[in-house]
Amino acid sequence: VLVSDTGGHRTMSVDACPHRCNATCAPGHYQTSPCRAGGWPLLPQCARCDDGPCPVGEIEVTPCSAASNRVCSKRSMAMGSDLYVWDGTRFAIVETLGTNASRSL
């Protein structure tokens, strides 16, 4: 069963078990507040993950998961006219001034 608020922003799936805390956020959503058995909220609160490209000069360092939104970060350095961003394993050129070049080291 899928559940959403009137704005369509809190979508989750609920299994058929009698405990509502068995509900999980749907793909593309992350949990912002856990449910409490016998308390409020009865269902976990979910929010839609940010999508689309990260802001210019930032890279996605952590993808969206069931527990957290994605994280974009400015981990960059400039060398000459090139802008490099650290992707966790290597520096990648994300911009060369005056061109649309993009390559990895």
Q: Indicate yes or no: pTM above 0.85.
A: no
Sign of the four-CA dihedral 6, 12, 18, 22: negative
d(CA 41, CA 5): 14
Q: Answer yes or no: is pLDDT of 99 > 70.
A: no
Count CB neighbours of 13 within 10 A.
15
Q: What is the pLDDT of residues 24-80, one digit of tens each?
A: 788 888 888 776 666 665 667 888 999 888 887 777 878 898 888 998 877 666 666
Verify cis geometry, omega within 30 degrees of 0, for the bond prior to 41: yes
Sign of the four-CA dihedral 42, 44, 48, 50: positive
Amino acid at 90: R
d(CA 68, CA 89): 22
